Structure 1
Amino acid sequence: MANRICWGPDSAYTDWQSGMWKYPLHFEQDIPEKYQDLDNLPQNQIITYSFKDKVKNYPNNFKAGTVFTYGTGAWKNDGQVQILVDSDAEMAYRVKWGPDGIYTNWNYPNRYQPRPSLALFRSIGIIGDSYASGELAFDDNKYTDHYNMS
C-alpha cells in the first residue's frame, strides 16, 4: 500500500511513500486485546481478521476482512482514516480528526443509499383527471371516490 498527502488547496502532493506501514497482521480466533477494538488500532497498520465476532466497532452486516488504519502523525490536529474491505469485496471507510477525535460513522461508497424524495410514485407517475385521483364512475351516473387507492 502506498500513499501521498496534500495539505490545503495551494499545496502540492508529496511523493508516493510506502515505508511507513507496519508489518501486516493476521488474526484468526485468538485476537489480542490491543486489536479487538477498531477505535484503538495503531496508525499505519494493516490487519486482516478471519473472524470478526470479538471485534468492537466493526460495521454491521460485513464479513471478516482487512482493515487499513492510516494517519500521518505529523500535525497536532492530524487525523486518521480506516478503510475496510471484507471477504465479499464490500468496502467501508470512516474518518477521525484530531488526537482526541472520535471516528465518524462507517460510510459505504459502493452500496446503494436511497435519498429522500417528495415524489408520490417511485417508478411511475400518473398525470390525469379524476380517474388518476381514485374516482370511479358507475353506469347510473354515480361516482365513488377512493383517494386512499390513488
Structure 2
Amino acid sequence: MVTYPYYGPKNGTGTGTYVTYNGINGLGGKAQFAFKSNGELYYRVFWGASPADDKGWSKVKLDEPVPSQTPAYLSLFEKVAVIGDSYASGEIYDKDGRNQHGDQYNHSWLAILARKYGFNYYNYSKGGQTAYGWMHETPRSHGEFTTDNKHFDFYFLNLGINDHNRNSADYAGVKADIANGTNSFYGEYGRIIETIKAKDPKAPIAIATITTSFGDGNYKRYNDVIRSLSRDYGLILIDFGDNITNENITSIVKRGGHPTAAGYAKLAQAFDDGFNDAVAEQEADISNLKELFSD
C-alpha cells in the first residue's frame, strides 16, 4: 500500500491524499482511492497504468450526514396552551389564496404538535389578534382565560404580527409601560405574561419572535421587545431571527399572507425544533413542573 500526496483525478478540485493498493504475489487486485481536501472521494480499479496516469476515476456519491436528534421536550407536558393571532389559531388559506372558514384550531400548529406528542391543548388565539386586543377582549382572550377553570403545564406566546403591522415602531414601547399601564406592545404583552403567571405560576412559558412581517421594518423593534420580555420574566425564547420577509421561515407554504394546511404542518415543525433548540441552548429548566390539574 502506497500513499501519494498529489496524484489523483484532475476532474476534482483541491489537493488530498491518494492511496494505491496492489495485491501481493498475484493475490488481490489493484485499486486506488483519492480523498480530496474538498470532501470528494474517488476510486478506480484495474486502470491499467501507473499511479500517475489520470484515467478511469469514478466519483463516490456520499450520503448526507444524519442530522442530530433533538430531545422531544414537549412530550413532558400533558396540558399546553397558546396565546396568539391567526398564525396560532390555524387560519388556513388554500392554494389560490382564499381563506378557509377562519380559525381552524384543530389544524393549528399547536394541534399538530398535540397529536404528535399526545398532550391536551387549548388555543387562546384568533385571527387579527393583538396584545392589546387580547387583554381587553373575552372570547379566546383575557376574559375567557381569567374566568375558565382550565390550567396548563406549559404556555406558548405567539403575538406580534398584527401589532407591528397596525402600529408605528414607537408603539413597541419600553419596559416601564408594564407597571405604568401604558398602552404599548411592551406594556400589554408584559401584562399578558403577568396574567399567565397569576393563574399558573409554576408553568414554564416560551415566547416566539414574529413569524411573518409586512416589509416596513417595524417588526425588528417588536422582536427586540419580545427578546427583552423573555429576559424580564425568565421565559424560553424561540428566536426566528430578524432576517424575515413575507416568506419567513422559508419552509412555510403560504398563500394570501397565511399558511396553507401543509404550511401549518411545517410551522409546527419549526416551533418543535425551535423550542427544543431553545431549551438546550438556554439551559432552560423545564423539570420543575406543577402537579397536574383536573379539567
Which category describes the TM-score, using the shorter chain as reference length?
0.3 to 0.5
Rg larger in structure: 2
Q: Which has the higher helix share?
A: 2
More strand by share: 1
Calculate the TM-score normalised by the size of structure 1: 0.32
